[in-house]
Structure 1
Amino acid sequence: MTYCIGMRLDQGLVFMSDTRTSAGVDNFAVSKKMFHWNVPNERAITIMTAGNLATTQSLISLLNERSVLAGERDPNILRLPTMFQVARLVGDTLREVITGSSPTGQTSDDQFGASIILGGQIKGGKPTTFLIYPAGNFIEISDDTPFFQIGETKYGKPILVRAYDRQMEFADAIKLLLVSFDSTVKSNLSVGLPFDIQIYENDSFSIERTKRVDTDDAVYQEISNGWGDALRDAFRLLPSYEF
């Protein structure tokens, strides 16, 4: 399992993913789940993956391989003119990988399934994010749905729904995402540190603002401990329910 969030703000996009992979309760490992493609001053694209590790690694390898000789391979992620067309390409490639891995063809509950968050901006278009399903179909982020989650989503969603504000600064958005991730880590062993974070500022066409948060990160520890204390204080302030 895993946990990834892609969020849209007025300032731009924020992405965060964990790095834990598991094959049973006693077999954990660290694996990167956030990947980038960048053509300075022209496009910045980020992908986060959840699901079968072999499927997601094959997807990323195919996208990379097909973009190496950009002048000879079309379509590819470095040449498509819009993020919508990139989403179609990623969806088609994901479906290709899953179908090729399953001996009986693709099914809705396929063990080779995976979900993708794709986000970024291509010059001439707006920054945007897509949620891509195992079947290759996808939806785009909107004012009604300003963030996407994949993986182990249920534990971290309540704080996002209550505290999200599209006008918040990047620093506050990261704090919000860290609380969401911390709640998930404390509830599910299949999600864990380190976390990868990326900020994309509108029209920057750059993915330089990235960071990995590990267990010894002082700010993360302060947020984690402070959130626990704040919840206990808030609970004590609520009225008791007598009957």
Structure 2
Amino acid sequence: MTYCVGLLLKAGLVLLSDTRTNAGLDNISTYRKMFTFVQPGDRVIVMMTAGNLSLTQTTLARLTDAIDAPDATPETSIMLAENMLDVASLVGDMLSRVTAETKARMDRMNQMATASMIVAGQRKGGRMRLFLIYPEGNFIEATEDTPYLQIGEHKYGKPILDRVITKDTPLEEARKAVLLSMDSTLRSNLSVGMPLDLVVIETDALQITEQRRIEPNDEDFAAMSAAWSQALRDAFTQIA
């Protein structure tokens, strides 16, 4: 399983994913779940994936092939699409086709396979947008009322986002919030694991503002986790 979260704020986008994939307690691997597509000054697109690895890898491979195809058009390539809504539609259509193809084979073996994706970014002349793509290809969009979306093991990291995130949250505070949301998930679910991938994109930058991988021995993340645990313990003891 995995956990991915994206925030859509006035100041920009903040996106975070883990990298754990497991098929049983004795078969745990690390795979990147966040993928970036950037044409500086024109568009920046980030995708995060959760669910069946073969579905997500096949979907991403086909989307990448469509970008590189000599006959690519705005109807086939996310890097030529007119706007982020068209990008979400292209990703949804591809995920739906791959899911349908795989489902036929999996049904014969009485197995299930499903996947979902978060697609975020901005096209020159358009606004920043954040979408959650379902296995069937349909999607929902983040709004001012609900400025974040999650996929994977989302329940453990949701409470802090509900309490602190609004559309006006500054990027630095949002960055802290997603890291603490992930920390809560890491502590409560073994199917989510480090390293983590973080991307920050300022509004209208049309390029990635910050991108980094947070390894298990990252001192800053460990210090933040310890401080959050202590703050929770202190708050608990102070409540009558």
SS at match of 1:193: coil
Write the distance in 1 (CA, Å) between the matches of 2:105 and 2:23.
23
Deviation sequence 1:10-40 (CA, Å, 0-9, x none) = 1111110000010111221110000011111
In structure 2, what is the equivalent of residue 202 of structure 1? 203
Could you state the TM-score of these two structures normalised by the residue count of structure 1? Answer: 0.93
In structure 1, what is the equivalent of residue 146 of structure 2? 145
Query: How large is the Cα RMSD of the aligned pairs?
Result: 1.5
Deviation sequence 1:154-198 (CA, Å, 0-9, x none) = 011001101113323222211111111011011000001111000
Q: CA deviation at 1:143?
A: 1.0
Please tell me whether the aligned partners of residues 52 and 111 of structure 1 are also in contact (alpha carbons under 8 angstroms): no
**2:100 pairs with 1:99:** yes
Q: Which amino acid aligns with 1:22?
A: N
Structure 1: which 5+ residue stretches go unaligned? none
In structure 2, what is the equivalent of residue 50 of structure 1? 50
Q: CA deviation at 1:124?
A: 1.6
Write the distance in 2 (CA, Å) between the matches of 1:182 and 1:26.
23
Could you state the TM-score of these two structures normalised by the residue count of structure 2? Answer: 0.94
Matches within 5 A, 1:148-167: 148-167=149-168
Structure 2: which 5+ residue stretches go unaligned? none
Write the distance in 1 (CA, Å) between the matches of 2:209 and 2:12.
14
Runs of 4+ that moved beyond 2 A: 69-74, 165-169
Please tell me whether the aligned partners of residues 8 and 14 of structure 2 are also in contact (alpha carbons under 8 angstroms): yes
In structure 2, what is the equivalent of residue 6 of structure 1? 6
Q: CA deviation at 1:225?
A: 0.5
SS at match of 1:48: strand
Please tell me whether the aligned partners of residues 106 and 112 of structure 2 are also in contact (alpha carbons under 8 angstroms): no
Deviation sequence 1:49-95 (CA, Å, 0-9, x none) = 00000000001100000100254454211111011111111000000
In structure 1, what is the equivalent of residue 236 of structure 2? 235
Write the distance in 1 (CA, Å) between the matches of 2:165 and 2:7.
9
Matches within 5 A, 1:84-95: 84-95=85-96
Please tell me whether the aligned partners of residues 70 and 76 of structure 1 are also in contact (alpha carbons under 8 angstroms): no
Q: CA deviation at 1:104?
A: 6.6
In structure 2, what is the equivalent of residue 225 of structure 1? 226
With 82-91 and 159-168 compared, the bigger mean Cα shift is at 159-168
In structure 1, what is the equivalent of residue 81 of structure 2? 80
Matches within 5 A, 1:93-132: 93-103=94-104, 111-132=112-133
SS at match of 1:21: strand
Please tell me whether the aligned partners of residues 70 and 79 of structure 1 are also in contact (alpha carbons under 8 angstroms): no
Write the distance in 2 (CA, Å) between the matches of 1:20 and 1:104.
25
How many correspondences in the alignment?
A: 236
Deviation sequence 1:202-242 (CA, Å, 0-9, x none) = 11111252011111111111110011111111110111xxx
In structure 2, what is the equivalent of residue 28 of structure 1? 28
